[in-house]
Amino acid sequence: KSIFRALLADVRAKNAVQGGSTITEQYVKNAYTGNQKSLFRKFREALVAAQVERTYSKAKILESYLNSTYFGEGAYGAEAASQTYFNKHAAELSLSESAELVGVIPAPEAYSPFSHPQQAEERRLIVLDRMRAGGVITQDQLVAARASKPVLVSSKVQVVRFPWFVDAVQRYLSQRYGDKAVFSGGLEVTTTVDPAMQTQAESVIAKTLNRPDDPYASLVSVDPRTGYVTAIVGGRDYSTEKFNIAIQGRRQPGSSFKPFVLVAALESGLTPGLTLPGPAGICLAGWKPDCHVTNFDNESFGQISLETATIHSVNTFYAQLVLRVGPAKVVDAARRMGIPGPAWLPGRSGCKQTASDHCPTQLEALPSIALGSEEVTPLEMASAYATLAAGGTYRQPKLVSKVTDGAGQILESGPSAPVQAISPQVAFTATSLLQEVITQGTGTAAGIGRPAAGKTGTATDFRNAWFVGYTPDLATSVWMGYRDANQAMRNIHGVAQVTGGSLPAAMWSAYMKAALASVPASPFAPPPPPSPPADSGFRLPLLPLPTPSPEVTPTVAATVTPTVTATPTATVTPVRPTATPLIPLLPWPLASVPVVPSPSVVPSPSRSSRAWRRVR
């Protein structure tokens, strides 16, 4: 009906602006699958696009696309773009102005009318010519529009410094309040971003991975005390790739998932002194597709404690541990701590998103979960580790601290409600072990000169590498890998094989040092002692004290000549009965205390996933 809508209708018909992709495919790519260059991604995109077209009308798809696509300069949607470039509503745009905006869509930064006016002008003329060729406009309209060069506002109305964070906020707001409210409802939003932390996060990743063929990296920070997300890096260059790995990219976490097994074990009554064998390889019943699990570099550790197995990330130990504890308890611990994440996170690629409100991260109760077989997002990992940093208290991660509608009504404000996910005692014990990972284990490269805890993670064949860690003030996850999930990371900046303890740990350390530079160092506070059990009022009857035997007084002879006298009876001193003394508690850690391991538990056969042999 408006000129702008008519112009975009031509784009829907596969004109030069969008090339070989339909509007539906472009919308699915932006919303679900990202820009990963692989046949699998194209296949998933086609499936989801087909489902979207069966579910919604073309008009609705076009509206959703227009309301969500990126036009550069921080402008999402046609209305925001109109205000940004021309300071007017989209309905008021002329044909020439509409053509300029449409020309921006394929490469918003490269075709920005502000930064690259010549390229933007060339794109505008191409769009107009294609509209005429498609019969959308008349020859007279073409001549008039070509002659009418759009006049931009005198300066940029909106400059977005942190596009990855803004992208996440926009996705959250759209999911919570709808596109109409977000792009034309006059919402006033206060985000939780910490500008200094965000700047440091972007800088550290850009300096570390500074070559065009380098892998990607993602970073997410969460304040454990509030759940506020303070920094997000979702990829390399937002101007060319809109897929936000931090909230959309689900990857295998490797051994960085072991803390959830550790928590489940501690909740089951096991202690850090539990001993099990840690051979280089082991065959376990119930582990599929075959029974074999191996340690990183086939290293053998002998009989070791849970503490040592955590510090050195011993796969064969943790494989036995998860079978003893049960994978279902691991899934439950992860769920309580924050995985799957909140409902506003984008759903899994390829799931039936239009058939339900949410397609969350899927955790299956399989033994291989102990070694990180289930895929998670960097935000979920940072949030779950923040639960440990907060002494077992989970707060749902939040990107906004306040939202007000156009009428001034506050729609939401403040942090999310705290939930005691795990006991403070379990959280403190797990944190104590994870501190040793940094001080003497696989994560020494993550040292920051203050109390910190964390865990390395490396997926099979070095396809994904993680370091996730925390202090009492900040929890941060760092993921590193290629957009192609099957590509191994080898020979990267002098690192032959990228593990979680190499470049990811180094980036985590550099970022955390800078992010916490102005925050005084503080130790992890021990939990308060458990409360004594409530007095039931029951009392045992008092037993009478034993009666002492009478004392016998000896007789003394009257003369010097000794006589036989009675032998004195020993004095009997009354004895009050006392309770048997309690066995004194042993101080933790118990690595030196010999513990007889419990008999091995052979689980019932269950469906398992791939063999996970080389993770750390």
Q: Which of 456-465, 548-557, 563-572 is the most confident on average?
A: 456-465
Evaluate if residue 327 carries a pLDDT over 70.
yes
Question: Which pairing describes strands 464-470 and 188-191: parallel, antiparallel, or unpaired?
Answer: unpaired
Closest by CA position to 508, among listed 538, 546, 536, 479: 479
Evaluate if residue 520 carries a pLDDT over 90.
yes
User: Sorting pLDDT into bands at 50, 70 and 90, what band is 182?
Assistant: confident
pLDDT recorded at residue 597? 41
User: Sorting pLDDT into bands at 50, 70 and 90, what band is 361?
Assistant: confident
pLDDT in tens, 94-131: 999 999 999 999 888 889 898 899 999 999 999 999 99
Closest by CA position to 256, among listed 428, 492, 465, 470: 465
Give the three-state DSSP class for 434.
helix
Residue in the block written with tokens 């601290």: 401
Q: Which tokens sit at 196? A: 């200094």
pLDDT recorded at residue 52? 87
pLDDT recorded at residue 552? 52
Asked whether the bond before 550 is cis by omega within 30 degrees of 0, the reply is no
Calculate what percentage of the chain has a pLDDT beyond 90.
58
Evaluate if residue 36 carries a pLDDT over 90.
no
Give the CATH class of 202-515.
alpha beta
- Mean pLDDT confidence for 547-566: 48
Evaluate if residue 15 carries a pLDDT over 80.
no
Evaluate if residue 243 carries a pLDDT over 80.
yes
Closest by CA position to 277, among listed 256, 308, 246, 247: 308
- Mean pLDDT confidence for 326-343: 95
Q: Helices marked H in 299-377 — which ranges? A: 306-311, 315-325, 327-337
- Mean pLDDT confidence for 356-360: 54
Q: Which tokens sit at 240? A: 């060319």
pLDDT recorded at residue 613? 41
pLDDT recorded at residue 68? 76
The dihedral through the CA atoms of 173, 174, 177, 183 has a sign that is positive
Closest by CA position to 209, among listed 462, 503, 598, 410: 503
pLDDT recorded at residue 545? 56
Closest by CA position to 390, among listed 199, 227, 267, 279: 227
Q: Where does CATH 3.40.710.10 sit in the chain?
A: 202-515
Neighbour-count burial for 487-498, b at 16+ CB within 10 Å, e otherwise = ebbeebeeeebb
pLDDT recorded at residue 64? 83
What average pLDDT does the chain have?
83
- Mean pLDDT confidence for 398-421: 94
Number of CB atoms found within 10 A of residue 321's CB: 24
pLDDT recorded at residue 17? 38
φ/ψ of residue 110, rounded to 5: -70, -30
Evaluate if residue 4 carries a pLDDT over 60.
no
Q: Which tokens sit at 87? A: 């300071």
Would residue 97 be called left, alpha or beta, if left means φ above 0 and alpha means ψ between -120 and 50 degrees?
alpha
pLDDT recorded at residue 379? 98
Evaluate if residue 547 carries a pLDDT over 80.
no
| Contact residues for 84 (Cβ-Cβ < 8 A; gap 6+) | 71, 73, 74, 75, 153, 156, 157, 158
pLDDT recorded at residue 73? 79
Q: Where does CATH 1.10.3810.10 sit in the chain?
A: 3-160
Domain 3-160: give its CATH architecture: Orthogonal Bundle (1.10)
The dihedral through the CA atoms of 475, 481, 485, 488 has a sign that is negative
pLDDT recorded at residue 2? 42
pLDDT recorded at residue 572? 40
Q: Which tokens sit at 86? A: 């021309």
Evaluate if residue 541 carries a pLDDT over 80.
no
- Which residue would you say has higher pLDDT here, 184 or 48? 48
Closest by CA position to 245, among listed 68, 41, 478, 24: 478
Q: Which of 14-18, 240-244, 262-266 is the most confident on average?
A: 262-266
- Which residue would you say has higher pLDDT here, 421 or 349? 421
pLDDT in tens, 140-150: 999 999 999 99
